[in-house]
Amino acid sequence: MDSKNPNTEPLWTSAFFNERFPDPVSPLGWSIIRELVEQIAFREPLRFVGYREGPAWPLTRLWQGRPFADVRIFQMLYKHFPAWLLPEDARRYFPADDTSLRHKIDQPTRREFLTGVLRTFLLERGWSPLNYRAWEKFVPNYEDAVAREIRTIGADGEDGTRVALQRWLASTKRLMDLSRQLLRLHRWSLTYAEICYTLLRRLVGAWVSADRAGELCALLVAGVANKSTESDLRLWEVAQVARSASAETLSLLTGPEPSAQLLARLQDRPDARPFLAALDAFLASYGHRSRSLDIYHSPFADDPPTALDLVRDLLRDTGSQNPLARAAERQQASQATATTCRARLGPRRPIFDVLLALTRRYMQLREDQRFYWQKALHMKRRVLIMIGEQLGLGELVFFLALEEVGEVVHGSLAMATARQLAATRRQDFEQQTKMPYPPFLRGDLPLDKGGTTIPLNLAAPEKTVFHKELSGIAASPGIARGRARTVAGLDQLTSIFGQVNRETILIAASADPGWTPVFMRIG
CA distance 325 to 223: 11
DSSP state for residue 298 in the 8-state scheme = P
- Please give the span between the terminal C-alpha atoms of the chain, in angstroms, as a whole number: 42
Query: CA quadruple 91, 97, 100, 101: dihedral positive or negative?
Result: negative
Q: Which of 253-257, 431-435, 442-446 has the lowest mean pLDDT?
A: 431-435
Of 26, 23, 103, 12, which is closest to residue 385 (Cα–Cα)? Answer: 26
In the three-class reduction of DSSP (H, G, I as helix; E, B as strand; rest coil), residue 218 is classed as helix
Tell me what the mean pLDDT of segment 86-92 comes to: 89
Please confirm whether the linkage preceding 67 is cis (ω < 30° from 0). Answer: no
Of 475, 495, 476, 477, which is closest to residue 487 (Cα–Cα)? Answer: 495
For residue range 33-57, list pLDDT tens digits in order. 999 999 999 999 999 999 888 788 8
- Contact assessment for residue 398 and residue 28, using Cβ atoms and an 8 Å cutoff: yes
Residue 44 buriedness (CB in 10 A; 0-12 / 13-18 / 19+): middle
Give exposure, 97-127, as e/b (b: 16+ Cβ within 10 Å).
Answer: eebebbeebebbeeeebeebeeebeeeeebb
Distances (CA, A) of 390 to 155, 157, 382: 13, 10, 12
- Has residue 494 got a pLDDT over 70? no
For residue range 122-142, list pLDDT tens digits in order. 988 888 888 999 999 999 999
- Has residue 480 got a pLDDT over 60? yes
- Contact assessment for residue 63 and residue 14, using Cβ atoms and an 8 Å cutoff: no
CA distance 11 to 445: 9
Would you state the pLDDT for residue 291?
A: 85
CA distance 497 to 271: 27
- What is the CA angle 154-159-160, rounded to 5? 105
Q: What is the DSSP string of 369-431?
A: HHHHHHHHHHHHHHHHHHHHHHHT-GGGGGGS-HHHHHHHHHTSS-HHHHHHHHHHHHHHHHH
Tell me what the mean pLDDT of segment 280-292 comes to: 94
Would you state the pLDDT for residue 483?
A: 78
In the three-class reduction of DSSP (H, G, I as helix; E, B as strand; rest coil), residue 507 is classed as strand
- Has residue 475 got a pLDDT over 70? no
Tell me what the mean pLDDT of segment 478-484 comes to: 73
Tell me what the mean pLDDT of segment 511-518 comes to: 61
- Has residue 320 got a pLDDT over 80? no
Would you state the pLDDT for residue 125?
A: 81
For residue range 401-438, list pLDDT tens digits in order. 999 999 999 999 999 999 999 999 999 999 887 788 99
Highest mean pLDDT among 78-82, 430-434, 473-477: 78-82
Tell me what the mean pLDDT of segment 211-233 comes to: 91
- Contact assessment for residue 512 and residue 20, using Cβ atoms and an 8 Å cutoff: yes
